Structure 1
Amino acid sequence: MFKGFYTVASGMISQQRKTEMLANNMANANTPGFKADQSSMRAFPEMLLQRFDQRKIPTENGLKLPFNTPVGPINTGVYMQEAIPKFIQGDLRETELHTDVALIDINIPANEENGLKGTVLFTVQHPNGDVRYTRNGNFTVDGEGFLTTAGGLYVLNERGGRIQLSGDKFTINSRGVLTGENGETARLGIGFAENPQRLIKEGDGLFRTEDGNELPNAYNADGVQFTVQQGFLERSNVDAAKTMTDMLTAYRAFEANQKVLQAYDRSMEKAANDIGRIG
């Protein structure tokens, strides 16, 4: 009986976490460069149930030998193993702002391990000094002339330095070369992740590497072809219609587990109050 409680509870918890993940996807449907998460569900190891019994041997003393009769396997529950970002490129939206930049994938090689395509990302500087990566090209120029993200992080150039401009009237060509009003030049830092699933997702559309090492320069990566488009933003790759359908499915699964839990609760109540009553 109690095994059923644990199984149902694990199902409710996993569906709740999936619903929270989908709700976060939906909330960021209009966030530039946002990569939707997709869940990975796994079942706990199965247990083989056996019935213990005795078999009487026809001897003078009536010998009895214990033996087990297999009943069958039982699953002990399910859990959401992880949320994996989906690195499919989102649609482009024209903004006509000089500070908005989008990365356009042209030919990105697939990873040999999992067959998934890699991705290219802008490099930015985290407040702790480490390098972070993002697809959100909604940039701005701060009071000191540094190119920053909307969240205030410094956008880095190809050599890992900050990009300082004389004003917000600058141009960026398809190869990421930025030219300011007074002729100053810099090249946007673009990193290439061969296996995007090894990137760890942080808040505000930021990613970091597992080992803390920087990604290789995308401009020099073999077989990687991409272009930089000024005046455009990459939209979120969240499919709003599919996300709503998945949320309803998760909610129905949670509700079904809830009804099973209520049935178990009523059975336990009868066992405690009615069956166990004396006189």
Structure 2
Amino acid sequence: MSLQRRFLNFVTMNCERGIYSLHRIDLPTQRLFYPTTPAQQKKLDLQSMERIGIPPASINFHPNPSSLAEHHEWKVFFFGLSESKVICTDNNGLAFLYDAGLRSVLAMPSLHAPKWLPISLSVPDPDTSEKAAAAATLHRGEVAQTTEKGSSSPSIVYAKPDELCFDKVWHRHSLPLPPFVLEPGFDDETTRIRSHAVFGGGSHLCVSFSRGAGTYCFDTASGEWSRAGDWTLPILGKAEYVPELNLWFGLNEHDLPCVSDLSGTLTGHKPELCGVWRRYHPPDWS
């Protein structure tokens, strides 16, 4: 995510009706982030928290009922590709792309199987300014299904599927699995994807696993995995890269906003947190 982006997309859920709503915050007009430097901030006497209203929903989504949903909770999963484009999929694996700028919907290939808790790793297309490739099917149960069929994991990519096709289209593509998945004794029931990030503008994908499996990096050019270390990334879930600061932002294990320099991961250096934002409650909240 760049500091220069105009819109921030976020999704809310109506728990009673089960409807998801995508909202777009216009950052130049609605200040979501504090604009001053740390030195200027120390001079301010903050006594109240500024409030902004939630803009109307750009579009609403209703999940398709699925008997395979975890805890019988029907869900829609959202994977941001760019400032305006979002891939959406449900528990059944049905997928489509929503373009918030054009207010249009594009049908996409269905995922190869229903999903419980998928994650997304977006890789920019070198021929466009959009993020066009997404390994959007990795999740905690993926290894159990793919090891039975072979040593590959499915993804969705925007490219020419073969030499006979003149145009790029969204289609399914297979990626190799991390090597430890195919080793004897691997337990697919307890191993989870703990953290994930994108490095080098999409040259490498990084995934940390639980149960001592460690951290692995995937070279998107060669299609090969390499082990970074027996440690895990300090950011839980998705680590979002901000190029202007050369830092990755996300949440720690206590769900607090945090920041880390992950640039040494590819060379095997274990990253640490650079800072954590503690909860601040204004006086009128107590």
TM-score range, shorter chain: under 0.3
- Greater radius of gyration (CA): 1
TM-score (norm 1): 0.21
TM-score (norm 2): 0.20
